């Protein structure tokens, strides 16, 4: 049992062992997905925010200014190029590619 708990804590156990051991380890010991590097997490958040603001409607001038300011602050015009750079940097990391694809397709 100790070996299984060690594997679960390190993230190398199978899904069934992880599920069965979770109550023994507590809520913080088991993660649903591996942690992503900080640059990836920041980019995914930024891309989702860009998708959100890109779908907003400027119902009046003030709203249009707020949308434009958010798009500029997030540097949405450079998001595609930044994504290509990150894809090259993390090309061997399938978790990143999955996160990137999910963020790209999300509505925000």
Map residue 77 onto helix, strand or coil: helix
Q: What is the pLDDT of residue 30?
A: 45
Q: What is the pLDDT of residue 104?
A: 76
Q: What is the pLDDT of residue 85?
A: 93
Asked whether 59 and 12 are in contact (CB, 8 A), the reply is no
Q: What is the pLDDT of residue 99?
A: 84
Q: Which residue has the tokens 């399938």?
A: 94
**Which residue ranges in the chain fall short of pLDDT 70?**
1-34, 106-108
Q: What is the pLDDT of residue 8?
A: 46
Q: What is the pLDDT of residue 79?
A: 94
């Amino acid at each position: 049992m100790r070996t299984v708990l060690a594997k679960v804590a390190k993230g190398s156990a199978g899904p069934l062992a992880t599920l069965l051991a979770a109550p023994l380890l507590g809520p913080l010991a088991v993660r649903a997905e591996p942690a992503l590097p900080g640059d990836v997490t920041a980019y995914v958040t930024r891309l989702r925010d860009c998708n959100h603001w890109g779908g907003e409607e400027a119902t009046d001038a003030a709203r249009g200014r707020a949308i434009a300011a958010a798009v500029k602050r997030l540097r949405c015009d450079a998001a595609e190029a930044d994504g290509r750079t990150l894809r090259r940097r993390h090309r061997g990391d399938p978790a990143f590619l999955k996160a990137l694809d999910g963020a790209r397709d999300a509505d925000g």
